[in-house]
Structure 1
Amino acid sequence: MLPHEVISAGPVVLRTPETSDADGITRACADPDIARFIPLVPSPYTRDDALLWITELAPGGWEAGGAEFVIAGPGEAELLGVIGLKPVDRLGNGEVGYWVAPWARGRGVATAAVRALSEWAFAHGLPRLALLAGVENIVSQRVAYAAGFEHEGVLRGAQASRDGSRADMVAFARLSTDPGDPIEPFLPFFPGGFPGGSLTDGVVLLTPLTTGDAADRHAVASVPDIVKYHVPPVTPDYAETVARCRYAGHRWLAGQMASIAIRDAETGEYAGDIQLTNIIPPLGQAMIGYSLHPRHRGRGLTTRAVNLLVEWAFENTSLWRIVAGTAPENTASHRVLERAGFTREVLVKDLLPGPGGTRVDDLQWARTR
């Protein structure tokens, strides 16, 4: 059994729960985000639920080989959150779980607590710690990176949701032999963070794609001349579009893809989308792709969007080369790339899948620093 002791965590401490924490836990667990991302927390949450956790569930976790702590202020009285270790699995590995009260967020509380608990667990012989976060829980994923946990992938259907469905979870882990240094994502978010960050030149506005954009994005993806040049050239299912939007923040943070809405800067209206994808850090290369709804064409929005995104990428990442591919006959896209400073490089024969099992050529372009 792990020892009951107070753990210093920089600006906070980790201590065992007390009955005096019941009111603070009850108030914190009324938060919609805790209810959304931690389905095991009862909702609505009552003081009796808090007392049950303090007097029975938390002690039971300790007896089973885990550990349950309150995250508290330096004086140990102020409740800021809860953190714990699940009992080790059959392979001897642990898992960290936590929540932070709404009034304590934005102060580095979770990162400090996760880092301190991890070091404590490793000091007591655990070889590996896992940390799971919902695919839309970007805040928790950022905590994992900041606490030195490496992204390992997505566990499909790993969590039971309140409605009976299964939700995907992002898997992170840290080994006792890892340095534990904060891990900086390859792709930073736009100024303002996620989802509220943006880039603009006063005419076009770029914002991260979110689930609220699903209907608009699907409408653009279903335009016939956009479907024609899609790879493969088929209209996506609406469920695929929703999943693309739901995963956008996670894939951005993981350095896999930046999915972005193109908007009219004056009205905020959704005009299309642009992506930075096929990101290969060792090569310093990524690919750009874009689509614009017909009613917004002819105003130079796509060229402005491409310029904004490429210049942001060169300024904020180590990318050296941005590439693009177009159909040889898609002269409108050629003009966008030429105006955005791209150079035509090569025609690759039969590279891409076409309609009816055919293959189509790809005219490739690039812009470098």
Structure 2
Amino acid sequence: MFPHDLIPAGPVVLRSLAPSDAEAIVRACADPEIVRFIPPIPVPYTRDDALRYLEQSRQEWQAGGAPFAIADAGTDEWLGNIGLMARPRGTTEIGYLVAPWARGRGVATAATAALTRWGLEHGAKRVELLANVENLASQRVALAAGFHREGVRRGAEEQRDGTRHDLVAFARLPGDSGERVTPLLPEFPGGSLTDGVVRLRRLTLADTADYLAMRNLPDIMRYSVPPEPCTFEEAEERCRTAGANWLAGTGAEIAILDAATGAFAGDIQLSGVIPPLGQAMTGYSVLPGFRGRGFAARAVDLLVGWAFEHTPLARIIAGTSPGNIASQRVLERAGFTREALLRGLLPGPGGTRLDDLQWCRLRSEARR
């Protein structure tokens, strides 16, 4: 049983929930993001729902949990809910919601870090945090509060429409430092990179149709790995998980846009990230309507320049088919040097194997 403490958390304090919080809880639970990422919340959310939740929170204490209100440290205004819940195998789960009017102030991070530390000090052996794969804000909170990403629980949460979504699993143990976990791949400054001609931003679910159409163009599919058609489900999954994978440091899936119109022009990636080697791979595709305008070379140069300035990566490699002269010219213009021909490296159609011509650009090399 956890004690009924008052827990200071920087700009906020964690206190017991009170009947006077009901009105604010009702207003907050009308927020589209809360509705989206907490499927059990009733829609519409009424005062009766809030009073029922307050009663359930009292019962949660008896079941080994510890639900709190997140309140402003100065005014005691309700800003959100947070709690520890007992789970099987001696595990404790933390969950929270923050009112839309309180976001952007570090409230969730401060509350999560403080309650996790308090829970571990009072006997919790392991605190887990689960976030919808599309809920990047919650995943950022987990990292900022010292949680380590452990993997993805596939289809672990039922949505309102009956589909099931993946949850990204994070955890903190008593021996963890609790210090902020800094992602290997930071986000683009302001959300995008541009040189005035092309703009790069993270691939999103809204890009699914454009990405699918591009991937299934014959001349793009021919050089894909493997060189096979892409299904809608595969394209949607790639776009849906792009943000979570970026935060995990496993890769960056990026849309290439026409800076003048905002039109989808192609995609580019950092993949195959190997932190101990400081190495990653890039690959790219551009739609026919945007070819011949230097979009690919500009995108590669922007991405590699950002990687060398903002990440520990020291070596970016790329591969091309020996016959793909256009792609080789792109890499030459982006400052890459040809390194080697790897025979039979890639899967080809009908069980064949294809050669791969490898290129590299180093952090230590001046831009050509």
Q: Give the TM bin, normalised by the shorter chain.
A: over 0.9
Structure 1 ranges of 4+ moved more than 2 A: none
Which residue pairs with 2:151 in the alignment?
153
SS of alignment partner, residue 141 of structure 1? helix
Matches within 5 A, 1:58-77: 58-75=57-74, 77=76
Tell me how far apart the structure 1 counterparts of residues 88 and 326 of structure 2 sit (CA, whole Å): 59
Aligned-pair CA distance for 1:277: 0.5
The one-letter code of the counterpart of 1:37 is F
| Alpha-carbon contact 1:146-1:183 (below 8 Å) kept | yes
| Residues 1:53 and 2:47 aligned together | no
For 2:216, the equivalent position in structure 1 comes to: 222
Q: 2:180 corresponds to which residue?
A: 182
Q: Which residue of 2 aligns with 1:366?
A: 360
Offset from partner CA, 1:246-288 (integer Å, 9 cap, x none): 0010000100111111111111111100000001111000000
Q: Which residue number corresponds to residue 26 of structure 1? A: 26
Show the counterpart of 2:306: 312
Partner of 2:7: 7
Kindly indicate whether residue 202 of structure 2 is the aligned counterpart of residue 204 of structure 1.
no
Q: Distance in 2 between matches of 1:144 and 1:113?
A: 11
**Superposition map of 1:76-225 within 5 A:** 77-87=76-86, 89-192=87-190, 197-225=191-219
Cα drift, residue 29 of structure 1: 0.5
Distance 1:263 1:162 in 2: 33
Q: What whole-Å deviation, never above 9, does each CA across 1:8-33 have from its counterpart, x for those lacking one? A: 11110001110000000000001000
In 2, the alpha carbon distance for the partners of 1:33 and 1:19 equals 24
3-state DSSP class of the match of 1:114? helix
- Which letter maps to 1:25? I
Does the Cα contact within 8 Å between 1:15 and 1:76 map onto a contact in 2? no
State the AA in 2 paired with 1:234.
E
| 8 Å contact from structure 1 (residues 8, 14) kept in 2 | yes
CA distance in 1, matches of 2:85, 2:242: 29
What is the TM-score normalised by the length of structure 1? 0.97
SS of the aligned residue for 1:364 comes to strand
Unaligned stretches of 5+ residues in structure 2: 364-368
1:242 aligns with 236
Match of 1:326 among 292, 312, 320: 320
Q: Which amino acid aligns with 1:350?
A: G
Superimposed CA distance per residue, residues 159-215 of structure 1 (whole angstroms, 9 cap, x where no aligned partner)? 1111122111000000011010000000000112xxxx1100011111111011111
Q: Structure 2 CA distance, aligned partners of 1:297 and 1:175?
A: 51
Q: Distance in 1 between matches of 2:341 and 2:352?
A: 17
Deviations, residues 41-83 of structure 1 (Å, cap 9, x unaligned) = 11111111001111x2101111100011000011463011000
Q: Single out whichever of 22-31 and 72-81 deviates more from structure 2.
A: 72-81
Provide the alpha-carbon RMSD of the alignment.
Answer: 0.8
Distance 1:365 1:75 in 2: 58
Matched, 1:262 2:261: no
Partner of 2:366: none
Residue type of the partner of 1:36?
R
Aligned equivalents of 2:226, 2:34: Cα separation in 1? 39
Q: Which moved more, 1:143-152 or 1:260-269?
A: 260-269
Give SS of 2:289's match. Answer: helix
Opposite residue 135 of structure 1, the aligned amino acid is: V
Q: SS at the partner of 1:252?
A: helix
Post-superposition CA distance 1:102-133 (Å, at most 9, x none): 00000000000001101110111111100000
What's the % identity of the aligned pairs?
62
In structure 1, list runs of 5 or more residues that go unmatched: none
Q: Which of 252, 262, 266 is residue 272 of structure 1 equivalent to?
A: 266
CA contact (8 A) 1:13 1:76 kept: no
CA–CA separation in structure 1 for the residues paired with 2:199 and 2:112: 36
Alpha-carbon distance, 1:231 to partner: 0.5
The reply on whether 1:16 has 2:10 as its aligned counterpart is no
Amino acid paired to 1:132: L
CA distance change for structure 1 residues 163 and 286 in 2, over 3 Å: closer, same or farther? same
Tell me how far apart the structure 2 counterparts of residues 210 and 22 of structure 1 sit (CA, whole Å): 35
1:282 paired residue number: 276
Amino acid at match of 2:127: L
The structural deviation recorded for 1:226 is 0.5
